Amino acid sequence: MSNRHLPVGTRDEFGPRAIRKENLIQIMSRHFIDAGFDRVKTPLLEYRDVFQPLTVTGEQPYQMLDDAGETVVMRPDLTLPLARLLSTTNIQPPVHWWYVGDIFRVRKSLSGTYNQITQAGIELIGYASLKAEWACLSEAIRICDDLKVADLTLELSDARFVPQVLQTLALDPVTKAALKKAFFTKNLSDYERLTEPLAANALYPFLKQWPWLFGPAESVFEQLKQLLPPAFVREQVARLQTTVDFLRDQFSNLTVTLDLTSQPPQSYYTGIFFHAYVPNRREYLFSGGRYDRLMASFQRDLLPAVGLAFDVDALTDTVQEPTASPQTFVYGLPSQWQETAAVVATSPNARLCLVDSLAEAQVLAKSSHARLIDLSPKEATL
Amino acid sequence: MTLTIALAKGRTAAQVLPLLSATGINCTALQEKNRRLLFTDDPDFHFVLVKAPDVLTYLNRGTVDIGIVGSDILEEQGHQQFDMLDLRTGRCRFILASTPDFDPHQTNRKRIATKYPHIAQRYFQDQGEDVEMIKIEGSVELAPLTGMADAIVDITETGTTLRENHLKAFATLTPVSTHLVVNRLALKQKKPTIYQLIQALQRVRPQEV
């Protein structure tokens, strides 16, 4: 019976959703090309070691052996293959790359999730300037604007913030690791127990509020001002503030939030990272950030890099369904082939009606709830 | 802003509802004995009553914002959501138990029966021991009594069931209690409401023992 079933976590794509998804990809591609990004495409199969830096808790790659007995995987990520490509060729940075493709992650079985996810994204490799973050964010926000994504919230974080705060706390390494874990998992019970002995520390008022230090940018900046000494983590806060100001200036309708409690998505993130979401949907529409340690596992000098990826499936399920024109069938005699094809080409949502008689065409149109355009001469239908 | 909460049915719900009531949430409909599963009467708090193992499924899918479930389920299933608060109800513990003649230092590879194979596996891994796991869905105590397994890893509150079945606890693994778990993105989207709920629950939950 397995020839009649899909493997767990996969799906066929067809109908209006498939059309919508394809349209989104075309719109995104056009944006990336117009902004001067070059298309890059890497194989579906890679050696498992390419993804060694990738930590995705609770998810595994599909893996198999190649003819030499080496383990290959269906790519669970699209950024690391680009680092592999750059580190093994003579391509000179900086590069502006865009990509679209599917990634594969084996998630918890029978949980209602899919293991094949479409991503589209950009990578700017070779730029240390904050302008690279701004360029990525601007592209992504413009795409969301174009797709009429309503009530977009952009959340900014900094990968260096949490380690810098933890570094200043006089705790033994084991306690510090436990505190970091409790903090990132927001286990308030453990966090409070572990921070209680620091009550005499000047940072204690901040530590008490820290797990809740996320929300509208202004309010988080205000809390930081009240809770932290002015010089503390000044550089990170300044970069965030400049970025918030830039976004406010460029995109007046955008909601910008800060999260100074967030764990970076991967260990190679080194600066600002971000996620975007809309109310009432529980997936991020796009995510990304600065990862200057991206090349670390490819035996090549580190290169500054910023990138982001859209979850195309989440975006497809978020954007409004456009009002579709009614389905139209166009029927004509074989001798009218060109005329019939021309009508199909100029009518919205139309297709050729490939049956041999008008009677059949009428039956098909009726059963498909479609409009029928009959181009056949009247005498021929009698 | 409405918060949707998945609450594990049965004993967990019975022990948590007084806490929720004490925070000012109207739980009257939930406390009535009937077969209703979805409670949307209160515009601020919607509840779904589900079996404990399904709480995380609802939470991971984002169908609900908050899950209230035992830490046994959280540990066994594993998850990526925020396990924010120990509500300090439903307290019990995982134990390794067997018949009194069981030798924890036996040289043969042990056969361990349990409803919680991941928790049991982690325990024996920490002990540096490889064991054969047998997954049992209920009445785990039967396994050593019938000779199907050498010992069991299970939850006990008072030890009464163990004693009634002439079993003895040989080791305590981890404590278990009811936790409040929050969907990662819901926390950002509904921070003020979730913050208030957690602050209120911190005030009314039982003292630490």
CB-based contact B191 A111, cutoff 8 Å: no
Residue B160 resides in a domain: yes
- Asked if A282 contacts A70 with a C-beta cutoff of 8 angstroms, the reply is no
Of A186, A281, A282, the CB nearest to B82: A186
In the numeric block, which tokens belong to residue A166? 């933890």
Tell whether B196 is covered by a domain: yes
Q: Does A185 sit within 8 Å of B62, measured CB to CB?
A: no
Q: What is the mean pLDDT of residues B50-78?
A: 96
Q: In chain A, which residues have their Cβ closer than 8 Å to the Cβ of B186?
A: 282
The verdict on B123 and B190 lying in the same domain is no
pTM above 0.95, yes or no: no
Which residues of B sit within 8 Å Cβ distance of A?
A: 57, 60-62, 78-80, 82-86, 182-183, 185-189, 191, 195, 198, 202
Pairing of strands B111-114, B132-135: parallel
Are residue B61 and residue B138 in the same domain, yes or no?
A: no
The rounded Cα B160 to chain-centroid distance in angstroms is 19
Tell if the CB–CB gap between A58 and B80 is shorter than 8 Å.
yes
- Domain boundaries along the sequence of chain A: 1-131+281-324, 328-374
Which among A60, A185, A110, A106 is positioned nearest to B53, based on CA atoms? Answer: A110
The predicted pLDDT at position A379 comes to 54
- Residue to substitute from B4, B65, B188, interface A, most A β-carbons within 10 A: B188
Same domain, B65 and B115: no
Chain centre to alpha carbon of residue A219: 27
Domain count, chain B: 2
Chain A residues within 8 A of B196 when measuring between CB atoms: none
Question: Which chain B residue has the Cα nearest residue A110?
Answer: B57
Say whether both B14 and B43 belong to one domain.
Answer: yes
User: Are B96 and B151 in the same domain?
Assistant: yes
State the angle between helix axes of A130-146 and A15-34 in degrees (0 to 180), rounded to the nearest 10.
Answer: 140
Q: What pLDDT is stored for residue A1 in this prediction? A: 59
Distance from chain centroid for Cα A267: 18
What's residue A41's pLDDT?
Answer: 98
The pLDDT of residue B178 is above 60: yes
**CA distance linking residue B186 with residue A280, whole number of Å:** 8
- B11 within domain boundaries: yes
Strands A63-65 and A71-74: antiparallel
pLDDT per residue as tens digits for the range B156-175:
999 999 999 999 999 999 99
Residue by residue, pLDDT tens for chain A (382 residues) are 578 999 999 999 998 899 999 999 999 999 999 999 999 999 999 999 999 988 877 789 999 999 999 999 999 999 999 999 999 999 999 999 999 999 999 998 888 889 999 999 999 999 999 999 999 999 999 999 999 999 999 999 999 999 999 999 989 999 999 999 999 999 999 999 999 999 999 999 999 999 999 999 999 999 999 998 877 888 889 999 999 999 999 999 999 999 999 999 998 999 999 999 999 899 999 999 999 999 888 877 889 999 999 999 999 999 977 777 789 999 999 999 999 999 999 999 899 999 999 999 999 999 999 999 999 987 554 4
Contact at CB, A57 and B60, closer than 8 angstroms: no
Phi, psi of A270 (to 5 degrees): -130, -5
Find the CATH number of the domain harbouring B157: 3.40.190.10
**Euclidean distance between CA atoms B50 and B35, whole angstroms:** 11
Query: Has residue B209 been placed in a domain?
Result: no
| Bridge partner list, B112 | B133, B151
By three-state DSSP, how is residue B92 classified?
strand
Maximal CA-CA distance, chain A: 99
For A361, counting Cβ atoms within 10 Å of its Cβ (0-12 exposed, 13-18 middle, 19+ buried), the class is buried
Residue pLDDT, tens place only, B16-47: 999 999 999 999 999 887 888 999 999 999 99
Place of tokens 């050593």: B144
Q: Which fold has domain A1-131+281-324?
A: BirA Bifunctional Protein; domain 2 (3.30.930)
User: How far apart are the two ends of chain A, measured CA to CA in Å?
Assistant: 49
Distance (Å, whole) CA A41 – CA A170: 48
Element (H, E) at A347: none
A216 contacts chain B (CB < 8 A): no
Can you state the percent helix, strand and coil of chain A, rounding each to 5?
Answer: 40, 20, 40
| Pairwise CA distance, residues A155 & A164, whole Å | 20
Asked if residue B39 and residue B84 are part of one domain, the reply reads yes
Q: Mapping DSSP to helix (H, G, I), strand (E, B) and coil, where does residue A119 land?
A: strand
C-alpha Rg value of chain B to the nearest Å: 19
A153 known ligand binder: no
How far are the Cα atoms of A47, A61, A134, A286, A322 from residue A312, in angstroms, in the given order? Answer: 25, 20, 21, 9, 17
Which residues constitute the domain of residue B54? Answer: 3-91+177-204
Distance CA B31, CA B54 (A): 21
Edge-to-edge strand list for the sheet holding A286-290: A38-39, A95-104, A116-125, A305-311, A286-290, A272-277, A153-158, A255-259, A214-216
How many residue pairs from chains A and B have C-beta atoms closer than 8 A? 52
Residue A113 C-alpha, separation from nearest chain B C-alpha, in angstroms: 8
Q: Determine the distance in angstroms separating the CA of B59 from the nearest CA of chain A, rounded to an integer.
A: 10
Name residue A5's beta-bridge partners. none
The verdict on residue B133 lying in a domain is: yes
- H or E stretch including A70? none
Query: How do A214-216 and A286-290 pair as beta strands?
Result: unpaired
Identify the CA nearest to B97 among candidates B21, B164, B4.
B164
Q: Which of B79, B186, B191 sits opposite A282 (nearest CB)?
A: B186
Residue A228 has a pLDDT of 86
Consult the annotation and say whether A213 binds a ligand: no
